[in-house]
Structure 1
């Protein structure tokens, strides 16, 4: 077996990719937030959250590589590096970055061909959805909310997937900000002014409550609220920068956007 043989996955996306390309036997530990694929939760020990990890438990697994995501895991990475563990922290934030991540991870474990096949399948699916979106009667305006208190708008890959699926993100300037703190809405009334046709919530780690969104002061005037188009997409399929977002997450976005486009189209 070439490449690292004992991998700890500090987030879900490396776990999902490694299972998808048939390299799951290399994984010795996973994040407790992992839900995809379901068998990973049954087969692998859970040794980390997102901002914290059981360093001693990870070291006991004798990993030759730990894989994480984003600057938020810098402290975990530092602790493991100081303990002599090799660490790869990816920081991709775009749809193109997710596809490239699949290819890079496959190459890292000596499974470039399988990773290329998965990446190509993702690219083909994106193209298929883009073609379907081009047939919609209009492009609904979409407000995507990652968190409610304070309200945080969608990250870059989500905004890109919204456009691929046939919608228009109402906060495109914020989507370019990689850090969540830079996407906080200081004035939630800005959503009212931007008048989205569709509101999608994905509150990472807790259930989205459409009724709470609709009850915000003044939000009853927003087209999405007036027409009952306030919906949830579960965070594991949209807020993880891995294959789930490119397949199930994109499909979920397209279903909601297509329904909003049809409902708001002029009568024939």
Structure 2
């Protein structure tokens, strides 16, 4: 089977199901596992950004493109035509994250390509697990998919057992800095499962732009900075601006030294198998006495 994946989370799912050899096209953001970097790239971001681009500049570039009706991703139609995929994995959740389904189907119509398009649109942890099963069923890997999902559910149950009965910790997931955004979709779900009470967000709801006074008034006990698409090094660099926000400094989280930075790209931004590693991170951040410390390189504390 010839598969093209147009989002990093789908690429991770494909590899988890043993479909690496069937992947014939990925995006420029597909970097896990490392073998994904060797695949032909059929989709690239149109945004001219680099490691020095601030969160405010990224937000401005995205808003400008959306206002002008410009696509945020460029499909290599010629390469897709050469690949002649049987299945294309795409999404409709976020046009900033990957190519939306409509753009894909329009391109296929022009190319005369008859690939099946499977759109993934998760809003909760259970939705993510269901998508793993869907990919498995469409690719002849249903047994492998059930095995992967059973393992992930077992790991989640272990975490939930450890935090059961503990006082929920009021936790705010900060998904963007300028402007501040709350975490959405599966992130509040993860917080609840990890023994927390989501602040200024709800399971399944979209990420929303906020004002810093709202965050101060909510008085979170823990703040987890998980800027969408940032690894730990980039997030830690961006987090240097947190101390300049007076409203954040007024929160119990800042006062008690419970502001954390995470590798959001790996453990929160992508709705794939590694969300369960994100659950482990959150549980340790909120309840370090009952949950094992995660491996190095996944989370660090902000100096307050």
Give the root-mean-square deviation of aligned CA atoms: 2.1
Match of 2:260 among 226, 231, 240: 231
State the alpha-carbon separation in 2 of the partners of residues 145 and 255 from structure 1. Answer: 17
**Offset of residue 65 of structure 1:** 1.6
Residue 15 of structure 2 aligns with which residue?
19
Unaligned runs of 5+ in 1: 263-268
1:10 is the counterpart of 2:6: yes
Q: CA deviation at 1:62?
A: 1.9
1:109 is the counterpart of 2:136 = no
Q: Which residue of 1 aligns with 2:105?
A: 78
Residues 1:35 and 2:22 aligned together:
no
Query: Contact conserved, 1:10 with 1:49, CA < 8 A, in 2?
Result: no
Deviations 1:132-183 (A, max 9, x none): 11154x321111011112211111211000111111110234x5433x4xx1
1:250 aligns with one of 276, 279, 288: 279
Task: Identify the residue that residue 66 of structure 2 maps to in structure 1.
Answer: none
Answer yes or no: is 1:98 the counterpart of 2:134: no
Deviation at 1:214, TM superposition (A): 2.8
Structure 1 residues 33 and 260, CA gap change in structure 2 (3 angstroms): farther
Scaled by the length of structure 2, the TM-score of the pair is 0.76
Paired with 1:115 and 1:199, the residues of 2 have a C-alpha distance of 34
Superposed CA deviations along residues 194-217 of structure 1, whole A, max 9, x for unmatched, are: 111111111123422333123213
Q: Is the 8 A contact 2:184 2:201 kept in 1?
A: no
After superposition, the Cα gap between the structure-2 partners of 1:161 and 1:49, relative to the gap in structure 1 and judged at 3 Å, is farther
Deviations 1:93-118 (A, max 9, x none): 11110111111110100111111000
- Distance in 2 between residues matched to 1:261 and 1:192, nearest whole Å: 29
Deviation at 1:12, TM superposition (A): 1.4
Within 5 A, what are the aligned runs for 1:197-212? Answer: 197-206=221-230, 207-208=234-235, 209-212=238-241
After TM superposition, the score normalised by the length of structure 1 is 0.86
Assess if the C-alpha contact under 8 Å between 2:212 and 2:248 holds in 1.
no
Query: Which has the larger displacement, 253-262 or 116-125?
Result: 253-262
Q: How far off its partner does 1:260 sit?
A: 9.1
Question: How many residues of Structure 1 are paired with residues of Structure 2 in the alignment?
Answer: 250
The 2-side partners of 1:152 and 1:260 are apart by 29
Distance 2:259 2:244 in 1: 12
Among 187, 193, 213, the residue aligned to 1:189 = 213
**Paired residue secondary structure (1:87):** strand
Give how far 1:80 is off: 3.1
8 Å contact from structure 1 (residues 29, 44) kept in 2: yes
- CA–CA distance in structure 2, aligned partners of residues 235 and 150 of structure 1: 17
Quote how far apart the aligned CAs of 1:81 are: 3.0
Query: Which structure 2 segments of 5+ residues have no match?
Result: 46-71, 292-304
| Shift of residue 54, structure 1, vs aligned partner | 2.4
More RCO (CA 8 Å, sep 6+): 1
Alignment match of 1:47 (pick from 37, 42, 49) = 42
Following TM superposition, by how much is the alpha carbon of 1:75 offset from its aligned partner in structure 2, in angstroms?
A: 4.5
Residues of 1 paired with 2:44 and 2:184: CA distance? Answer: 20
Distance, in Å, in 2 between the alignment partners of 1:18 and 1:108 is 11
Distance in 2, matches of 1:160 and 1:99, equals 13
Q: Report what 1:122 is aligned to.
A: 152
- Cα distance between partner residues in 1 of 2:20 and 2:204: 33
